[in-house]
Amino acid sequence: MRQSISIISLSLIILLATSFASTERVNKSEASTGLFWSTAKEEGDLLRKAQTDDDSSSLLLGDNQEEHQLDGGFSSLEGMLQWAIGHSDPAKLKEAAKDVQRLSPEELKARQMGIKELMEKLKMPSDAQLMKTAIDDLNNSSLSLEDRHRALEELLILVEPVDNANDMHKLGGLTAVIGELDHPDPEIRTISAWVLGKASQNNPVVQKQILELGPLTKLMEMVNSTFTEEAIKALYALSALIINNPEGQESFYREAGHLMLQNILSNSSTDIRLRRKSVFLVADLVENQLGSSNKAVLPFFSNQFFLKSVVDLIASPDLDLQEKALYAVKNLLQLRSTEALVFKEVCKLDVTLETMRQQLQQLMVDENFKGYAVDVESLRREVELIFLGKLDKVRRILD
């Protein structure tokens, strides 16, 4: 790799030297001055001279004055020349320049053409072209498993920029990736779900496009996969599709997504990462309900079994899961439809919060956990106050 960079650098500098050498032959009044190869501090001046000298620019680019745009990195030929100067040995460049000065006009022209051919080979395809290639590969039924995996990995990187994600549908990419959700290989299904999640995250345009193609049911089936990574990436895709998307959430509820979440939360044998993602999604869905005052609160948020499955996670030994569950409970307590007595008598929230307070006090003694414990205690206290306030309202009514 280092050798190829040196060759490219040298070739480009030869082209620059060719231009100046040609300029000297045209400008007789300066024929005796020769080329001056700058030190590192003066290379910027040399480039500015090359860019402002019309004769030099003409010879540098040849008869064609079009700007050479390089989709993969450098914005122009001059940009690459500047890079080449900065990554080359000054002594070798000086020697190369002297060699070029000895060339005849015909040899100079041939050298220019050779460098231009090299530049054409160095042009990188655009992201859209790379995406189209990967999508075409996915649509090739005879493609090997390894190449299919590679195509999906390329799309996973390419869809991260919003503009690229927005181009996926018109290139046929969303349909192709959704088709891979039915592939017999679990790793192909996993990375396909990952691509859909990455493309749709915080992107209403792509969320709508994917939802219209109808992969929600399949993704929910994948969440129940025995292949853990497939389940995690499927839930990631589901979350990306429905967070901050009312239409997506309605589709999710119609497919009994709340039961899927309850099963995950209440099953202690479920992978901890899946439970974290699930309770985080619950917190977000409830927060969306809180922000929509004109929307009817869904009844399952008040279901005592559902509420208990969330509250029980506060007692988890996993600190991250504890915190996420606490935040979800905070949101659930603020729903008008949830009952304080259910939290107390069925979920035993008061007991759970007290147990957590004692655990956090112990963590505060450890300097490694003190900061975390203080922050979580603040959240725990906030939850406790909301709970007591909700409970007090019930007592006043009963009294």
User: Regarding predicted confidence, which is higher, 98 or 141?
Assistant: 141
- Cα–Cα distance measured from residue 62 to residue 262, given in angstroms and rounded to the nearest whole number: 69
CA atoms within 13 A on the CB side of 238: 34
- Lowest-confidence range among 16-30, 228-242, 297-311? 16-30
- Cα–Cα distance measured from residue 359 to residue 10, given in angstroms and rounded to the nearest whole number: 66
pLDDT (tens digit per residue) in 336-359:
889 999 999 999 999 999 999 999
- Cα–Cα distance measured from residue 247 to residue 251, given in angstroms and rounded to the nearest whole number: 6
Q: What angle do CA 120, 67, 64 make, to 5 degrees?
A: 80
Asked if the model's pLDDT at residue 36 lies above 90, the reply is no
Give the residue-averaged pLDDT of 53-65: 40
Asked if the model's pLDDT at residue 121 lies above 70, the reply is no
pLDDT (tens digit per residue) in 248-288:
999 999 999 999 999 999 999 999 999 999 999 999 999 98
- Cα–Cα distance measured from residue 340 to residue 389, given in angstroms and rounded to the nearest whole number: 9
User: Regarding predicted confidence, which is higher, 399 or 250?
Assistant: 250
Give the residue-averaged pLDDT of 33-37: 38
- For the chain, list the strands marked E by DSSP: none
pLDDT (tens digit per residue) in 96-110:
777 777 778 888 788
- Cα–Cα distance measured from residue 277 to residue 264, given in angstroms and rounded to the nearest whole number: 10
The model scores a pTM over 0.75? no
Asked if the model's pLDDT at residue 94 lies above 80, the reply is no
- Cα–Cα distance measured from residue 15 to residue 232, given in angstroms and rounded to the nearest whole number: 53
Q: What is the pLDDT of residue 86?
A: 66
The per-residue pLDDT of the chain, averaged, comes to 81
Q: Are 373 and 363 in contact (CB under 8 A)?
A: yes
Asked if the model's pLDDT at residue 60 lies above 80, the reply is no
**Burial of 247 from C-beta contacts in 10 A (0-12 / 13-18 / 19+):** middle
Number of Cβ within 10 Å of residue 263's Cβ equals 14
